[in-house]
Amino acid sequence: MSKGRDFKKPSSKKTRHFEIKESPPTPNYDLQKPIFSLRNIKYQGNYCISKCKEESKSAILDKLLRISQLTWRQIKSQSREDLGCESIPQDRFIAPFPSVVTPEVTILVFRFSNVGRIAGYRENDIFHIVLVGPKLYKH
């Protein structure tokens, strides 16, 4: 180092590399159409689509297809007998839930026939199907 020389302090420059951008707003998932997930249903379990008869499988697919054309807001406005759903407390269920369903999770139920039900929970715009069948809960 040379004696008597002072080093210049670097001047701060604003560049685009250090700009802090605002994160995009969280989407309103009620305005989105549902996405259906079968990830948490126990395949070949007692409450799986694979255990349903062919006519029930057809009714399930038809119901999911019809619901998929609506937004969550529209689904909420439908009657539970049509394309809407209802919230059923977990303690009314006879069928066991997979471990991903914790006590604070709200269970929603869609009807696919007179006695057939599709039970699951909503996470943002995704509906996770966990149980399918006729006798899922006590009426």
CA angle 111, 131, 52 (to 5 degrees): 75
Residue 5 has pLDDT above 70, yes or no: no
Which one is predicted more confidently, 3 or 55? 55
User: In the structure, what pLDDT confidence band is assigned to residue 16 with cuts at 50, 70 and 90?
Assistant: low
pLDDT of residue 31: 97
pLDDT of residue 11: 61
User: In the structure, what pLDDT confidence band is assigned to residue 21 with cuts at 50, 70 and 90?
Assistant: confident
- Which domains are delineated in the chain? 28-133 (3.30.2310)
User: In the structure, what pLDDT confidence band is assigned to residue 24 with cuts at 50, 70 and 90?
Assistant: confident
Which one is predicted more confidently, 123 or 12? 123
CA gap 128, 54 in Å, rounded: 22
Cβ contact 13:47 at 8 Å: no
- The pTM assigned to this predicted structure is 0.81
